[in-house]
Amino acid sequence: MSQVQLSDPIVRESIDTIRLLAADAVERANSGHPGAPMEAAPIAYLLYMKYLRHNPANPDWAGRDRFILSCGHASALIYSMLHLTGYDLSLDEIKNFRQLGSKTAGHPEFAHTPGVETTTGPLGQGVSAAVGMAMGGQFLAQHVDAELFDYRTWVLCSDGDMMEGISAEAASLAGHLKLGQLNYIYLDNKITIEGRTELAFSEDVGARYLACGWHVERVDGENLAEVDAAMARAQQERRPSLIIARTHIGIGAPNKQDTADAHGAPLGAEELALTKQAYGRDPEACFVISKEVARHMGACRERGVALEEQWQKQFDDRKEQPAVSAWLQAARGELPADWDAELPIFMPEDGAKATRQASGAAINALAAKLPFFIGGSADLAPSNNTHIKSAGSWVPDRSDRNIHYGVREHLMGAVMNGLCHTPGLLPFCGTFFIFTDYMRPAIRLAALMELAPIYVMTHDSIGLGEDGPTHQPIEHLASLRAMPNLTLIRPADANETVEAWKAAILNRRGPTMLVLSRQGLPTVDRTRFAGAAGVQRGGYVLASEVGDLQLILIASGSEVQHALAAQEKLQAEGIGTRVVSLPSFELFEAQDASYREEVLPAACGARVAMEAGSTFGWERYVGSQGRIIGMSSFGASAPAGALMKHFGFTAENFVAVAKELLG
């Protein structure tokens, strides 16, 4: 690009090719958004051809810059750019836009298309995950090597991103932390699906970002010189940058430019032909890439190889340095041989202990062995027990292992995804379980992308007590168990909690959620009952029956203690009773059928399950003959013990329901 002047005709020809490739893809699919790719083409051209450090031959090179298309509905833009600049994305894939099995999905998908850094679609998630990516880069720069990890995170975003509330949280935290390697380019086209943005959106976006501590510029999105100069200035800023580009949706479409018709539907054959005429192209020709454009934009591949080779030489010169060597081990997904050596073991005589307290002890033991284990809380670390005692706080200009998200749960979930995209990092975060309602879109995207954040969710049931029904999760266990690829673990005591942390660290193919108690729970005597390692298999026989098996009691979390107490009463009456601790449906279902049959034999249909949450989902384990003790209403404000008794989460109720079942 440095060899080409912006006024060179090949530049404009390339930009027009980007536009029309995207429009052709949407037209052939009869689905998609042509307007945004058309308006953003000049900006995308400058990014890929001049500013992004990227290598199409190796999209995952660790030293690359990151680019996020936050307005994922403009996916035809990124596919055009990836093809033209030499990524492994053929023209046939663009022709198969939005078709089953193609690499060109309706919204960009991480690990599905080479060169897509993160899955975007729900507006606001991309700009927010980018904050996490920028934070991850800053952490590596400050704790590993400043030259190796000086990469930037570029984001293309839209009016929809700016309207979603999560973007305000993102702007606030990024400005506070002075993430100077973060750059947004906002396509200010003033059009949404329903019409002009003035129908619902009239704020001064630039003023908002200035108030949050950002560098802000305004440019004409069609003026390459203006955009180029603004990008260059952004690279020199110590603050995050917002470039507001006044653009025109569907530019060049004679009847649909600057209208909502260019937003969420193809231009239509007649309008597309007229648009091609406006750009001096054959109105009948589709997916046209001249040899000159292919050669010009394909030069990105040669440039990228050179950039990576330069970085690799720097890396090779430093890879024996302790910090770089430790990072490389972590980036490969390797754990130190003794990573779990300091994890605590709890004894019954230690007294009642909330699983959130046991989790805090586990976090600090892990932090001593895992240098890239970082975490934080949405202003709840003292309550979540998520503070790493040996580390400092992440503050403006200086990263450390304790992240303070403030009261920003929406953003925290998305930042976790960005941190998970940072090679080597093992991020966790914490809040109250009820606030997964705020984090759900980001949790779902993490599960979809097979990222591996660890969520520490405390105050897991009505057992939190006096804060009342607004803070007492009822339906959350059931609803999150319904999410594919999310592993949820609700441990019964301190030692099950430690095992849950082991499972979370080892699970690198999806998010893990630890659901923990506020109230103290007795530590199970493992000299009398089975060891807690059964957590790794999701469910296990905690206490075997005496004599013939007549009844199985199943529970998770704080209700396991009641199952053990109920077993003692029932066994005393000669009823052969087994207790199964079932902290994780997902881990249990991953076991082979023979193990599941061993724990829950089909021959014993008399089963009673207890969990302080919705009963939905437990049917699979109790069968048609069994009973479920759970919640069918919201909770109430009262001490935890009174609530548990009132709603029937007691050993006595376990016994009563079991006897009724047995007749």
What is the DSSP annotation of 494-535?
A: HHHHHHHHHHHHH--SS-EEEE--SS-BPPP-TTTS--GGGG
**Closest to 152 (Cα-Cα) out of 49, 68, 45, 58:** 68
- 207 contact partners, CB below 8 Å, separation of at least 6: none
| C-beta separation of 151 from 143 below 8 A | no
pLDDT at 1 over 60: no
Task: State the pLDDT at residue 6.
Answer: 81
Share of the chain above pLDDT 70, in %: 99
pLDDT at 577 over 70: yes
Task: State the pLDDT at residue 4.
Answer: 62
Question: CA-to-CA distance for 432 and 472, rounded, in angstroms?
Answer: 9
Domain ranges for the chain, please list them.
Answer: 9-308, 348-515, 537-662
DSSP helix, strand, coil percent of the chain (3-state; round to 5):
45, 15, 40
Average pLDDT over every residue of 633-637: 98
pLDDT at 2 over 60: no
Average pLDDT over every residue of 510-517: 98
Average pLDDT over every residue of 367-373: 98
CA atoms within 13 A on the CB side of 336: 16
Task: State the pLDDT at residue 5.
Answer: 76
Give the strands of the sheet with 607-614, arranged side by side.
Answer: 540-543, 577-581, 551-555, 607-614, 627-631
Per DSSP, the three-state class of 542 is strand
Q: Give catalytic residue positions.
A: 409
Angle at 21 between CA 16 and CA 27, to 5 degrees: 125
pLDDT by residue (tens digit) across 165-200?
999 999 999 999 999 999 999 999 999 999 999 999
pLDDT at 3 over 60: no
pLDDT by residue (tens digit) across 387-441?
999 999 999 999 999 999 999 999 999 999 999 999 999 999 999 999 999 999 9
Average pLDDT, the chain: 97
pLDDT at 280 over 60: yes
Q: Does this chain's domain 9-308 share its CATH topology with 348-515?
A: yes
Average pLDDT over every residue of 289-314: 98
Identify the CATH homologous superfamily for domain 9-308: Thiamin diphosphate (ThDP)-binding fold, Pyr/PP domains (3.40.50.970)
Average pLDDT over every residue of 568-581: 98
Task: State the pLDDT at residue 330.
Answer: 98
CATH value of 348-515 in 3.20.20.70, 3.30.420.10, 3.40.50.970, 3.40.50.620? 3.40.50.970
Which CATH fold topology does 537-662 show? Rossmann fold (3.40.50)
Average pLDDT over every residue of 338-358: 97
For the chain, what is the largest distance between any 2 Cα atoms, rounded to a whole number of angstroms?
92
Cβ-count burial 27-41 (b if 16+ within 10 Å, e if not): bbbeebbbbbbbbbb
Average pLDDT over every residue of 482-495: 98
Judged on CB neighbours under 10 Å (0-12, 13-18, 19+), 101 is exposed
Question: CA-to-CA distance for 159 and 257, rounded, in angstroms?
Answer: 16
